[in-house]
Amino acid sequence: MNKRISRTLKRLIASIIVLSFTIIPAAAQNTVAKDVPHIDSGNTAWMIVATALVMFMTIPGLAFFYGGLVRRKNVLNILMQCFLMMALISLEWVMVGYSMTFGTASGFLSPFIGDLKWSFLHGIGMNDLSPYFVAQSNNRIPHLLFVMYQCMFAVITPALIIGAFAERINFKGFVIFSLLWSLLVYNPVAHWIWSSSGWLFKMGTIDFAGGIVVHINAGIAALITAVMLGKRKDYRGHAIPPHNIPFVVMGAAFLWFGWYGFNAGSALAADGLSVSAFLVTHIAAAAAAVTWVCIDLCVDKKPTLVGICTGAVAGLAAVTPAAGYVDISGAIVIGITVSIVCFYMVAFVKERLGYDDSLDAFGVHGMGGIIGSILTGVLATPVIQSAYSGLLFGNTHQFRVQLIAVGTTVLYSGVMTIVIFKLVEKTVGIRASRQAESVGLDETLHNEVAYTSID
């Protein structure tokens, strides 16, 4: 009997040992598989949608917003410029722009600009994982999708500058200026702040979706070009009435809609951070829109459609750098603050200083980016991302870093824009002729008119 029990126990122990050699390695393999970075279908699907949303911001969003604000004789010129930016900068981006921005150069150039190893997207396979992601997760998106998503940011940035020189720039000068500016200004600044080898990135600059890279960068270039081009021939120091306010409303609505991809998509994943960025983006825009209406009522006694649209866009621009770092209260503070500052810039400062920023590209986008980027260093809360905090939470370093990043971008964008402007002016010319400006750029530059009368 004892021998039988002993044999049974021996068989049971042997079975357990055999099973351990089969189950444990399989479990280990499953664990390893879970830890290996892989393409996540949910994140990929969301980022495809986010990319399309950001594309929607330029055409038709910005095109209609700016197009409605100009006079009817120049609306097609604005639409053409926005459409061309989508095509031209997309080509520049895949040829050299992406590599210049996110590539890693060797030696002393590494903190300032990327190399050309990814020119024409050479070496990036269809199923390669993106090396860049915000969420600390192994659920990645395809590298090519990251390229496409960032392409939409590269497109809209020079398109924002259009608002400063609207109605008075010739087509050849516009094309060459925009291309050179993207190569020599946008790509380096984006590398500094968004590439892991960038010097401002290493310093600790936080710019979730482009308050510095996009809005400050474009806004300063807008101010410089507006001043250097000079005023429109019939500009009298105050805004020229828009030709189609419904276009303005439609464009602002498209921008608001597309901005969800701009900010929430910058989490690069369909996760809680993306949802938080989605929410604060909406709330900041809402707070800014309501604030602008209140200011309109106090100053002019009547609320305006153009005003509420301008306020919403200012709020969206300001919350862009902060979207992944602030909570609802921070978003409301940003929205209210930026509307007050931008209203003052548009209604008083521009008139007092006498520069002709046609569609307030600097007054709204430039100042919105500056306000939002600085307030990010004040309002960033560890409740959203534990690794980041601002001045209100005792992090004076983050506030100082934000000031350095803002100041450096203002200086670099301003100086380089002057250099590029002078180069284009001396070669192909950049200001439209007085006759073309008088007749309208639609007819003189494109041989088309937006509206025709039927006899």
pLDDT digits (tens, 9 = 90+) for 8-49: 555 655 555 554 555 445 444 444 445 577 889 999 999 999
37-446 architecture in CATH? Orthogonal Bundle (1.10)
Cα 110 from Cα 214, distance rounded (Å):
21
Helix segments in 208-271, DSSP class H? 217-229, 245-264
DSSP secondary structure code for residue 322 in this structure = T
With a cut of 70, say whether residue 264 has pLDDT above it: yes
Supply the DSSP string of 38-92, one letter for each residue. EE-HHHHHHHHHHHHHHHHIIIIIIHHHHHHHS-GGGHHHHHHHHHHHHHHHHHH
Distances, alpha carbon 278 to alpha carbons 133, 251, 421, in Å: 17, 20, 37
Phi, psi of 300 (to 5 degrees): -110, 0
Cα 120 from Cα 367, distance rounded (Å):
35
Strand (E) or helix (H) holding 409: helix 396-427
Of the ranges 139-153, 232-246, 409-423, which one carries the lowest mean pLDDT score?
A: 232-246
Half-sphere exposure of 195 (CA within 13 A, CB side): 27
Q: Which residues sit opposite 129 in a β-bridge? A: 142
With a cut of 70, say whether residue 121 has pLDDT above it: yes
pLDDT at 3: 59
pLDDT at 63: 98
Strand (E) or helix (H) holding 171: helix 171-181
Distances, alpha carbon 396 to alpha carbons 378, 385, 405, in Å: 8, 17, 14
Cα 281 from Cα 271, distance rounded (Å):
16
Cα 66 from Cα 442, distance rounded (Å):
14
Q: Which of 60, 50, 52 is nearest to 253 (CA)?
A: 60
Q: How confident is the model at residue 335 (pLDDT cuts 50, 70, 90)?
A: very high
Over residues 80-105, the mean pLDDT reads: 97
With a cut of 80, say whether residue 385 has pLDDT above it: yes
The answer to whether the Cα torsion of 129, 385, 365, 279 is positive or negative is: positive
Over residues 89-113, the mean pLDDT reads: 94
pLDDT at 105: 83
Please answer whether residues 101 and 191 qualify as being in contact, where contact means their C-beta atoms are separated by less than 8 angstroms.
Answer: yes
- In this predicted model, what pLDDT tens digit does every residue of 63-76 receive, in sequence order? 999 999 999 999 99
pTM attached to this predicted model = 0.90
Q: Where are the beta strands (DSSP E) in 229-360?
A: none
pLDDT at 204: 97
pLDDT at 15: 58
Supply the DSSP string of 135-162, one letter for each residue. SSSSEE-BHHHHHHHHHHHHHHHHHHHH
Our CA angle for 404, 405, 410, nearest 5°, is 100
With a cut of 70, say whether residue 453 has pLDDT above it: no
pLDDT at 259: 98
Average pLDDT over the chain, rounded to whole? 92
Over residues 179-192, the mean pLDDT reads: 98
Residue 282 carries which side chain, given as an amino acid letter? H
Q: What percent of the chain has pLDDT over 90?
A: 84
Please answer whether residues 105 and 188 qualify as being in contact, where contact means their C-beta atoms are separated by less than 8 angstroms.
Answer: no
Over residues 156-177, the mean pLDDT reads: 97
Half-sphere exposure of 187 (CA within 13 A, CB side): 26
Please answer whether residues 144 and 128 qualify as being in contact, where contact means their C-beta atoms are separated by less than 8 angstroms.
Answer: yes
Q: Where are the beta strands (DSSP E) in 187-245?
A: none
Q: Which of 367, 373, 364 is nearest to 326 (CA)?
A: 373
Q: How confident is the model at residue 116 (pLDDT cuts 50, 70, 90)?
A: very high
Q: First-to-last CA distance in the chain?
A: 115
399, two tokens: 């506030």
Q: How confident is the model at residue 436 (pLDDT cuts 50, 70, 90)?
A: very high
Grouping H, G, I as helix, E, B as strand and the rest as coil, residue 217 is: helix
Over residues 299-323, the mean pLDDT reads: 97
What are the extents of the domains in the chain? 37-446
With a cut of 80, say whether residue 287 has pLDDT above it: yes
Neighbours of 450 (CB within 10 A): 17
